[in-house]
Structure 1
Amino acid sequence: MRPNDRSVDQKGRSFIETARRAQIVEAAVDTLAELGYAKASFARIAQRAGISPGLISYHFRNKQELMEQVVTEVNADMERAIEERVEGAEGHVAVLRAVIEGFVHYCAARPARLVAVGQIEGAEGWGAQEREQSIGDFEQLLRSGQDDGEFRSFSSRLMAATLLAALEAVPTELHARPDTDVRAYADELATTFELAVRKVDH
């Protein structure tokens, strides 16, 4: 749910090299989404990208390095999309709504990317680490809302884990029900958590 620290130093790369790496990453995403992690070989990724497997090896030492880059770029892209929604939000409730709605809309717009990341994290065993990082981020937001008196008293850890579980279910739900009204789904999910955390004046 968030960028990790597996990014590769971008300094010193030419525009062509950067563009080629981006092409390979996108081909890897599509291959992972269609065939799964086990079948996402350099040969199949290269075939989808319309290049030779050797060219992938020139840019990435091995499959793991390419998979790391896929996760890093997808998470960074997702964070940028969510930050655009969060920008200008006033108050913790508004920020929470923007994060939830932003994630749902990102999943709807780029479903293959979420499937690809899920394939990688499941195969490489990175899911647990990423999950703890995401829970920590949500806990920080929730505690901040409590400290400012906007959120009621509750276990920030429990609420953060519950929120993450709800977000993790989004890609599967959208994939299973492609006719879902995404705007309504995002609004309903955000409202559910707004009601769960908001302080009620008596």
Structure 2
Amino acid sequence: MRTKNSTSGQKLPSVIEQARRTQIVDCAVEVVAELGWAQASLARIAERAGISKGVISYHFTGKEELFDLLVSQIYGRITEFVVPHLDAQTTVVGRLRARFCSIAEYLRAHRAEMVALTEVLTNLRDADGTPRYGDSFNEPYYQRLEETFRAGQESGELRDFDARVMAVTVQAAIDAMVAYADTHPDHDITAHAEQLAELFERAIARRAEGEA
């Protein structure tokens, strides 16, 4: 993802500039989460941040760059939260359960971020009208899950199945869980994650001989 100050020949933003960009992104999260994508204009974001629209234009080349940074920052925070939970597990099944449950835990604590993220991923378009975050955006996640499943099959922990199909299905289940919780604030996201963990454990774990 390109940022205004990361192009060739340009200096990186200073600490103060980075702090201002982060503040603007956080205000964008609040506006999108409260008003929805269609109402999240740069003017409204500037008003929420207590700055002029020109300040946003100084730090970002346009709305696309601002929301690219929003996506990047939120995914970075999710990753920082989730990875330690995964690393604490010693089995593929345990890591998958930890993935579902830790994402649900993050969502509970940062609902506005997750609502805004879903809005941006769903609605942001390139100049030609194509989704900026199409299916290719999930490809790195598909690959990592696929590699994990293949390793579990090779170790004998998991049964035989198409690792790519399972990876796509797991990511789709996570995306659906997040989207559903966004539109149903009272939904028990913890129970949802636990149900997904149980469902996929039954789907991927190698059964003992004679087990139904």
The two structures, once aligned, show a CA RMSD in angstroms of: 2.0
Partner of 1:36: 36
Aligned partner of residue 174 in structure 1, secondary structure: helix
Quick one: distance in 1 between partners of 2:64 and 2:189? 33
Quick one: distance in 2 between partners of 1:100 and 1:12? 36
The one-letter amino acid of 1:78's match is I
Partner of 1:57: 57
Contact 1:28 1:40 in 2 (8 A): yes
Structure number, greater radius of gyration:
2
Quick one: distance in 1 between partners of 2:134 and 2:68? 12
Quick one: distance in 2 between partners of 1:197 and 1:21? 43
Contact 1:46 1:56 in 2 (8 A): yes
TM-score normalized by the length of structure 1: 0.87
**Cα distance, 1:12 vs structure 2:** 4.1
| Unaligned ranges ≥5, structure 2 | 126-130
Which of residues 174, 178, 184 in structure 1 aligns to 2:185? Answer: 178
**Cα distance, 1:194 vs structure 2:** 1.3
Determine if the alignment matches structure 1 residue 91 to structure 2 residue 91. Answer: yes
Partner of 1:132: 139
Determine if the alignment matches structure 1 residue 141 to structure 2 residue 158. Answer: no
**1:51–1:170: structure 2 CA closer, same or farther, 3 Å change rule?**
same
Quick one: distance in 1 between partners of 2:108 and 2:182? 9
**Cα distance, 1:42 vs structure 2:** 1.3
Quick one: distance in 2 between partners of 1:92 and 1:141? 7
**Cα distance, 1:176 vs structure 2:** 4.2
Quick one: distance in 2 between partners of 1:182 and 1:102? 11
TM-superposition CA deviations, 1:16-71 (whole Å, max 9, x none): 22211111011111112222333222111011111111111111111111111011
Determine if the alignment matches structure 1 residue 151 to structure 2 residue 158. Answer: yes
Determine if the alignment matches structure 1 residue 74 to structure 2 residue 74. Answer: yes
**Cα distance, 1:118 vs structure 2:** 2.2
**Cα distance, 1:172 vs structure 2:** 3.1
Aligned partner of residue 96 in structure 1, secondary structure: helix
Contact 2:31 2:48 in 1 (8 A): yes
| Unaligned ranges ≥5, structure 1 | none
The one-letter amino acid of 1:141's match is T
The one-letter amino acid of 1:30's match is E
Partner of 2:128: none
Matches within 5 A, 1:5-16: 5-6=1-2, 9=6, 12-16=12-16
**1:146–1:196: structure 2 CA closer, same or farther, 3 Å change rule?**
same
Identity of aligned residues (%): 38
Q: Which has the higher contact order (CA 8 A, sep 6+)?
A: 1
**Cα distance, 1:79 vs structure 2:** 0.9
